[in-house]
Amino acid sequence: MDEKCPKIPASVPQFTNCPTMVILVGLSARGKTYISRKLTRYLNWIGIPTKVFNVGQYRRDAVPSYENYEFFRHDNKEAMRIRRQCALAALKDVRTYLSSGEGQVAVFDATNTTRERRALILRFAKENGYKVLFIESICDDPKIIEENIKQVKLSSPDYKGREQDEVVTDFLQRIECYKATYEPLDEELDSGLSYIRIFEAGRRYLVSGVQGHVQSRTVYYLMNIHLAPRVIYLSRHGESQLNLRGRIGGDAGLAPRGRQYAQALAEFIRGQRLRELKVWTSHMRRTIETAEALGVPYEQWKALNEIDAGVCEEMTYEEIQERYPKEFALRDQDKYRYRYPKGEPLQLFMDGFAMVTKVETAHSFKFIAPVPLRKK
């Protein structure tokens, strides 16, 4: 088709020729909103401006008082009219966002369980020249579904002040309402579409028709993440000998207070009673010594190393300002892109996708990484 791509300002990185709509598909309690938010954070992190449009929120704005699952019955004509209007309002906001020149990807978070609704979205995308990628989450495991309901829906505004059993019962009936008209993506009928189907929270995937940078990065990311929430602990290393002297970088060991911190950290972690604890550190002595206090095996990752300050290694900020006033001023103007002479920029960490993938695909659910960070 002829693609009418909105003009994108030169200041925005050109990762895609035309904006992309990522369309979620699936029954409720299948992790669609979780996927939407996680994907949006990732795409923004790698420099692709992305925003989520949650149709459920549009519905809550239109109907602030939710009574029960009957609102989602397919034969409830008034409710169906409201739900359609909410979807259209969300699409209107998608167009505004992508046409502004600042947005490149819109994630359309809704059930979109009927072919009719998906056809409406496809027509909208074609009229505006947007590329489309569907993400369908399919899960029939009752344990996963019930856990999703308890973790997410209990805190939903729809069920404020209601008991857990009442919430679970009503939401399971809401799912049945959607099941009555659910039409999954079909390999033959939808052979011309770009999509990824995720089965049982990532146990199996089916990918078809993926095109371009954004869709490829999206699919690769989705195939390398956990779709169930987990806890990740991030910790500073203990105070080092160079920290005491106000000097940046270097590879000094822990100072007395740093060793005291390491012991306190170990006591805290033991109190959490974590199973299958994985510990990652950088290659720096101060992080390794912090991790060793935990008394468990640990892995060293160069990707966790503090950025190299080049000729300014082991100097104080006052010394840098005195010896390299121009460099000091440049760093203050743009710390993200600034590179010390013969050193590394903070932006280098944007290329650390291998580390993100490693975190996401690891089987253990609890992590702690004593990582070196700079305050200034």
Residue 109 is a catalytic residue: yes
Phi, psi of 244 (to 5 degrees): -60, -30
Q: Between helices 77-99 and 55-62, what is the axis angle to 10°?
A: 120
Catalytic one among 86, 109, 136, 312?
Answer: 109
159 sits in the region (left: phi over 0; alpha: psi -120 to 50; else beta) called alpha
What single letter denotes the amino acid at residue 160?
K
Query: Which string of DSSP letters, residue by residue, matches 128-164?
Result: HT-EEEEEEEE---HHHHHHHHHHHGGGSGGGTT--H
The answer to whether 25 and 118 are in contact (CB under 8 A) is yes
Which CA distances in Å does 251 have to 5, 161, 240, 258, 354? 50, 53, 9, 14, 24
Q: Which two tokens stand for residue 134?
A: 């569907």
Residue 187 is a catalytic residue: no
310 sits in the region (left: phi over 0; alpha: psi -120 to 50; else beta) called left
Catalytic one among 18, 86, 136, 139?
Answer: 139
Q: Which two tokens stand for residue 322?
A: 């005195």
Catalytic one among 136, 237, 312, 327?
Answer: 237
- CB within 8 A of 261, min separation 6: which ones? 238, 239, 290
CA 167, CA 261: separation in Å to the nearest integer?
43
CA 368, CA 183: separation in Å to the nearest integer?
42
- CB within 8 A of 186, min separation 6: which ones? none
The answer to whether 290 and 305 are in contact (CB under 8 A) is no
Q: Which two tokens stand for residue 204?
A: 């199996």
Catalytic one among 136, 158, 306, 360?
Answer: 306
**Residues that are catalytic:** 109, 139, 237, 306
